[in-house]
Amino acid sequence: MDRYCVFGNPIAHSKSPEIHAAYAAQTGQQLSYERRLAPVDGFAQAVREFIAEGGKGANVTLPFKLDAHKLADALTMRAQAAGAVNTLVFGPDGIIGDNTDGAGLVADIVRNAGVPIAGKRVLMLGAGGAARGAVLPILEERPAALVIANRTVATAEALVQQFAALAGEGVLSSSGFESLQGSFDIVINATSASLNAALPPIPAAVFHQGTLALDMMYGKEPTVFMHFAAEHGATVRDGLGMLIEQAAEAFYGWRGVRPDTSALLVQMRSKL
Ligand code: ATR
């Protein structure tokens, strides 16, 4: 049986084994998928051990996404753009590093929420790892505008510089939170502020009636960002759909079969 795993530290909380077991059952793929706790300074060694045991691929979560980027012998374009790796494929050509987080986000917005990104005004809050991974997949959908707003504006501006050549003229720009102008069709919270129940200080006018507001975080209760957005007319969504979709994209990369995600999203929501 082909073996896969997820590396992280801590790892006990990871939902990936449950998600991939569901995909394997649904698509009739014979595989096993386990959690692996890697020492904080021992990621490469842990990966090599898993490969020696016959591992075919792995997901990578905190704090190893940069280590995985360094370890890979080759990177997909989206992993290069993200500067981080969440999916590894072990094959005859060595270790391939991919990043499916941004594709998962886009799939959740376009397919699950039914909101096309093409031609829309998109606001991304945050300019850290989570935001960087989403920029290229969003730009590939051809939004009318993508504004990256961050507490530290220089970090947002650095992202704009990195991706400027890939965006159409005037599409990509940076901003601080308070100085945001106008309203947006899609607002994505890629800051880690929700972890501390904090809200980036954005004007309520970034939302209009029917704006899709998505927080990459998820939990049993809506985040402060989701409460704020809903109070100002937005339709809100958390990051559970993105989690399930990034896993589907990794599963597709390993097995060549795309699982259906809709039933699993409902099932996992009910268990939060
Ligand atoms: P991740 O991998 O989750 O993106 P990260 O790379 O540490 O984590 O980035 C965290 C992001 O959340 C950054 O954009 C950070 O803003 P700064 O660049 O100014 O540090 C943002 N962030 C964290 N806490 C925040 C808060 N309380 N309010 C607003 N932004 C916050």
What is the distance between the alpha carbons of residues 109 and 227, in angstroms, rounded to a whole number?
A: 19
Q: Quick check: CB of 125 below 6 Å from ligand 1?
A: no
Counting from 1 in the atom list of ligand 1, the atom nearest the Cα of 177 is 29
Superfamily of domain 102-240 in CATH is: NAD(P)-binding Rossmann-like Domain (3.40.50.720)
The CATH code that applies to domain 2-99 is 3.40.50.10860
Q: How would you label 212-233 residue by residue, b for 16+ Cβ within 10 Å and e otherwise? A: bbbbbbbeeebbbbbebbeebe
Residues 215-229 have a mean pLDDT of: 97
For residue 14, which phi and psi values (nearest 5 degrees)?
Answer: -60, 135
Query: Is 70 a catalytic site residue?
Result: no
* pTM (two decimals): 0.96
Domain with CATH 3.40.50.10860 in the chain: 2-99
Q: Which of 15, 56, 65, 120 is catalytic?
A: 65
Confidence of residue 189 (pLDDT cuts 50, 70, 90): very high
Residues 220-226 have a mean pLDDT of: 97
Q: Are 106 and 138 spatial neighbours (Cβ–Cβ below 8 Å)?
A: yes
Q: Which of 271, 255, 270, 254 is nearest to 27 (CA)?
A: 255
What is the distance between the alpha carbons of residues 216 and 92, in angstroms, rounded to a whole number?
A: 35
Task: Please give, one letter per residue, the 3-state secondary structure of 107-136.
Answer: HHHHHHCCCCCCCCEEEEECCCHHHHHHHH
Distance 116 CA to ligand 1 centre (A): 26
Probe residue for ligand 1, chosen from 85, 151, 157, 189 as the CB with the greatest number of ligand atoms within 8 Å: 151
